[in-house]
Structures are given as C-alpha cells and as structure tokens.
Amino acid sequence: MPYSSKSLLRKFLIWKYKHISERQFIYILSVVVGILAGMGTVVLKNLTHLIRMLLDLDFLKNYQNTLYFIFPIIGLALVYIIKQTWLKKHIGHGISTTLHGLSKLNGILPRYNIYAALITAPLTAGFGGSVGLQGPAVSVGAALGSNTAQLFHMSTKTRLLLIGCASAGAMASMFKAPIAAVIFAVEIFSLDIAFTSLVPLLLASVSAVITSYLFLGTDVLLHVDLNDSFDFKDIPLYILLGIVTALTSVYFSKVFFAITNFFKQFESRAIRLLIGGVAIGTMLYFIPPLYGEGYGIMNNLLKGDHVSAIGNMPFNFDLTNIWIVIGLLLGIAFFKAIAMTTTFGAGGVGGIFIPTLIMGSVLGNVFAKIVNNIGFNFSVPEANFTLLGMTGLMAGVLHAPLTAIFLIAEITSGHELFVPLMIVAAISYAITKYYVSHSIYTMKLAERGELLTHDKDQNVLMVLNIDKVIETNFIVLKPDMNLGYILKKAVAKSSRNHFPVVNDDNELLGVIRLDDIRHMMFDADLYEKVDAASLMRADDDIIDYDNDSMNAIMEKFKTTGAWNLPVIKAGKYFGYISKSKLLTAYRRQLIKFTK
C-alpha cells in the first residue's frame, strides 16, 4: 500500500475510534462485505454464462454431443495452464478451504483467493465441468471479508464474523434467499447465534441480495410454482423418501472420497488432467445433462418437463415410455456424483453444493414418478417431491438440515412444505450421520482435528499455533555421554531441568531429569562410570507434531499429569511443550475470541 494510502487509512482509523463505536463499525463493514460478496457472486455467474453463451453457437448444434466431450477437456486444460504458469498456488474446494482458514489461520485468508476462483471456476463450469459455483462464490466472498477485516485492523473474533457474513452474502446472492443464507453461515461455519453476530449476518445477507437484484434483476436460479400443499396421507412416502435420500447421500460421499483418493495416487497434475479429462468427456458425451452446473435439469423437472431435462441423448430412446424416462433419470443421478468428483480430480475448480441439489432434484422426481406409475392408484405432486429430494440430499451430503429446510421453503415463497421438508431432512441427516460422520466439507478437517464447532473451548484449542508453544532451547545429550560431562556441559549451563537424549539420527531415546541425578551430582566417583544411557528414562507420553491436534495434546497432559512433554516431528526430536506455556497461550487466545 502506498505511503499516502497508509496515511489516509491511519487518519480514518483515528477518526473512527473517536466517532464510531466498535459495534456500529462492524455493522457498516458487514454491509460492505455483503455488497462485495454479492458482486463477486454476480461476476462468477456472469462469466460462466458468458462462456456458455460463446460456446452455444448455432453452427455447433449439429456437433453438440461430440463437443460435450471436447469442451470440458479444453476448460480443464485452461485451468491447468493458469494454475501452473500464473497462480502457481493450490486452489482448494471453496468451503473446505474457508473452514481451514477459520480454524488454522485465524481467518487470515490470502488475497489470491479473491481472484483465483473468480477465474478458474467459470472456466471449469462454463466449459462443461460438472460442478457448481456456490463453493467458489463462498471462497471469493470469504477472502474479501477476511482482507476487509485485515485492512481495518479488526480483532480475530470480528474477522471470523466478517468471513461468515461474506459467506452468507454469497449464498444469499446466489439463490436470492437471505434467511437461508444466515442459517447456512451459522450451520456450516459454526457461528454463534447471538445478537452481536446475528445482526451483521442479516445485514450482509440483505446487502448481497439487493446487490444481486441490482445487477441481475428479479430472475432466480430456481423457478418454482407450488400448486399442491402438504397432505397428511403422504407422510409414509416422506419417511421413505428420507431413507432413500439418506442412502443416496452415503453413496454420494463414498464416491467422492473414493475418486478423490484414486486421483491422489498420481503426483503429476498433467496425468490427472489426462485421465480425468477423458473420463469426464466420455460421461458427458453419453449423458449430456451432466454438462455444466445443471440448473436446466432442476427447472425442467420442477415444470414437469422431463423430456427437456433429459436433453439430447446420443441414442434414440422412447421418451414416451415412463419407465425408460425413470431409468435415464436414475442414470443422471447415479453419474452426477462421479462426474463432479472426476472434474475435481482432473484439476477443475468448483463446488459440490449445486451438484447436490441437481442430484436430489432428480432423485425426488424419480421417486414421485415411481409412486405415480407403480399401479397402486397413488398420486403425488412431482414438483413437491423434486424439492423434497433436494432437501434430503442437502441435509445428508452437506450435513446441513436447517439450511436445506429453509432454502427450499424460502425459494418456494411459502410454508406449505415445511412439515414434509422437516421429515425428509431429519431422517436423511440422521441416517447419513450414522454412516458418514462428517460432510465432504469437513471430513478431512475433522480427521486432522481442525474442524470448528459450536464448542468454544475446542475452537480456542484448535486455532492455537503449535509452533508458538514448542520450546527448542533444550541442551541435547547423547547416550554415551558420562555423568561428569553432563553436569559440566549441560546442567551447569542450563536453566532447564529436562535433558532429552537422542541418537546420531536425532531420534529421541529418553530424557534425563534433574531430579533423577540430583542425589549423585556430588559423587565424583560416578562421573566416569555412569553414562546418559543408564540415567535416561522414557517420557510419560510423546506429542506427534504431524498428527496430534491441540485438543489431543491437551488430553495427553490431562491423562499423564505431566508438566512437560517432548515433541517428535517426522520421527525426529523437535522440542518440548510445557503445560504452563500451553495454558498461557490458551488464555490469551480465549481473550481474543471473547473480546
């Protein structure tokens, strides 16, 4: 930042300190962040639609299926080139990356997150990659929120809140659903539901929606016209649909992790691009509805037009036969998760939120079609069950039942479906949670102990930086050093009472404590006879730098009752953590969280 800009900012901060309260300024920033997140989402959507429009030329219509094979590979190749030659940085899944930034980076998100997803996500989805834009929109908004907070030197707690505000803004702008956006921010990012956080979230959400209306008009992504309300006799069907969406959510999650792990075995990004590009191209050639985000599928199914939803298949199917239609729709639902994850594996950038909606809409619609045509004189509204399918899959895959309920209720502009929405969401979430403990967003973070929850104590421990509590200024001993050498070169020159013993490869063998040798310190006859190997003993426990979370470290201190524990990094001795220093760091971080 130029000197004149720094001087101007400093003057503004001084003026703000004198004339505006902290709470009022947070409200102002939440509106600013909401507008920025809304604009970021608008740019994402418009860039994607512009690319789609440029590729949708009349003279290409006759070669559409062939181009469905080629276009995604071109898009993925462009993303690969941008990553390798310009960005030269990893671009993770938007919401997962944001959650990691909240838990391990104190909400300090890099500036490149603002433009990285803004460029690569439209290329991925615009050229046909089977991904959504909600995740990238959250990534862009969160980076804008974080950097705005950093610009005005806000506290850690406020910075985390503004990231939540930006995420709510991105959601609100995408779906024009401000209430669901607030629920989304609270549920996914584990924000506190208190007046101090709720008002900024509402302000950001409303600001983003207004921004979206300003640039995009009244057009919405999902066009829903409900003609049928809740019917008590359909409750068994809602329960059954909840079970079906739960099982499908488990399938979705398992496929995601399996394909992700498959691509991880290839270190070369070029090989991933080649394998993934060909795979996704092949799937899109045979199943064109998988192309791009797929909003057309949802909207056509909601209108009752399954022919348009299925699109131009390369083979001539009899779409007047409802069972063939059902089979084709099931194929779309089955391969959507595979196509989405393959796009990610090939290096594409996008989100899983919207693909989850697509898959859920198809599943709910198929469920209704089967019920209506199975021959038992049942008649259920297909549009309603299409929406319920979306709710069930959102609740299961994303582990966000409240977001699922309020999003669908809000976009339908009514409350007629609240009871069935709650039934399907609750059943789907409960069953999925049993088989898949965490969502796709949070699984890896939870495994590393880096997942923010509504448990404040755990969150404070999580954001502690282990490097700041490790002490490395211990005098290290070798096993063949005798007592005289230890007393002269270690004990006499150190204020510590712990002396780690390591071998030539710096592997920890044990520890000598001052209390263990105090009784022989003045017995000169032992100076040459006793060595470190005979004096050392094992520590009460060992901290693994690479694998132990702060929560696990605190538990080890609690279990052992030790005041100092050694740290091993990559199998080598690294230092010690003392309980007193850990508790001091914890108290300081707790103050940051609560002030």
pLDDT digits (tens, 9 = 90+) for 511-568: 888 877 877 877 777 777 788 788 888 888 888 888 887 777 888 888 888 888 888 8
Residue 559's Cβ-count burial label (10 Å; 0-12, 13-18, 19+) is: exposed
Please check whether residue 84 lies inside any domain of the structure.
Answer: yes
DSSP assignment string, 378-418:
----HHHHHHHHHHHHHHHHSS-HHHHHHHHHHHTTSSTTH
What CATH number corresponds to the domain at position 150? 1.10.3080.10
Structure-token match 């920025």, residue found: 36
Residue type, 196: T
pLDDT of residue 5: 64
Tally DSSP H helices, then E strands, for the chain. Answer: 25, 6
**If pLDDT is split at 50, 70 and 90, which confidence band does 89 have?**
confident
Distance CA(297)–CA(308), nearest Å, equals 8
User: At 151, is the secondary structure helix, strand, or coil?
Assistant: helix
Residue 296 and residue 420 in one domain: yes
Tell which of 404, 421, 455 closes a domain. 455
Please check whether residue 191 lies inside any domain of the structure.
Answer: yes
Residue 453, phi-psi category: left (phi > 0), alpha (psi -120 to 50), beta (remainder) = beta
- 462 Cα distance to chain centroid: 16
User: At 240, is the secondary structure helix, strand, or coil?
Assistant: helix
Residue 362 and residue 437 in one domain: yes
Residue 411 and residue 478 in one domain: no
Alpha helices by DSSP H, listed for 265-321, are 269-286, 295-302, 306-310
Distance CA(278)–CA(543), nearest Å, equals 45
Residue 276 and residue 395 in one domain: yes
Residue 273 and residue 286 in one domain: yes
What is the per-residue pLDDT across 243-276, written as a single tens digit (0 to 9) for each? 999 999 999 999 999 998 899 888 888 899 999 9
- Please answer whether residues 159 and 192 qualify as being in contact, where contact means their C-beta atoms are separated by less than 8 angstroms: no
Residue 435 and residue 299 in one domain: yes
Tell which of 167, 185, 216 closes a domain. 216
Q: What's the domain count of the chain?
A: 3
Q: Kindly state the percentage of the chain with pLDDT values over 70.
A: 87
Q: Over the Cα atoms of the chain, what is R_g?
A: 29
pLDDT of residue 59: 47
What is the per-residue pLDDT across 43-77, written as a single tens digit (0 to 9) for each? 999 999 898 888 876 545 555 667 778 888 899 99
Check whether 109 has a pLDDT greater than 90.
no
Residue 503 and residue 559 in one domain: yes
- Please answer whether residues 310 and 142 qualify as being in contact, where contact means their C-beta atoms are separated by less than 8 angstroms: no
Check whether 171 has a pLDDT greater than 60.
yes
Please check whether residue 224 lies inside any domain of the structure.
Answer: no
pLDDT of residue 29: 92
Residue 169 and residue 196 in one domain: yes
**If pLDDT is split at 50, 70 and 90, which confidence band does 492 have?**
confident
Tell which of 216, 248, 271 closes a domain. 216
- Give the Cα-Cα-Cα angle 149, 150, 156 (nearest 5 degrees): 70
**If pLDDT is split at 50, 70 and 90, which confidence band does 309 have?**
confident
Instruction: Please give the backbone phi and psi of residue 253, each rounded to the nearest 5 degrees, phi first.
Output: -65, -45
Distance CA(406)–CA(181), nearest Å, equals 9
Of the candidates 287, 275, 335, 276, the residue with the CA atom closest to the CA atom of residue 68: 287
Residue 516 and residue 430 in one domain: no
pLDDT of residue 255: 93
What CATH number corresponds to the domain at position 519? 3.10.580.10
Q: What is the torsional sign of CA 304, 305, 307, 311?
A: negative
Range of the domain at 295: 232-455
Q: What residues are paired with 512 via a beta bridge?
A: 499
Residue 194 and residue 335 in one domain: no
Distance CA(2)–CA(501), nearest Å, equals 52
Please check whether residue 226 lies inside any domain of the structure.
Answer: no
Structure-token match 């992504």, residue found: 221
Residue range 419-444: average pLDDT?
Answer: 87
Neighbour tally for 360: CB within 10 Å: 33
Instruction: Report how far apart the first and last C-alpha atoms of the chain are (Å, whole number).
Output: 29
Token output for 425: 């969401």
What is the per-residue pLDDT across 343-383, written as a single tens digit (0 to 9) for each? 998 988 888 888 999 999 999 999 999 999 987 778 888 88
Q: Answer with the residue of higher pLDDT: 454 or 263.
A: 263
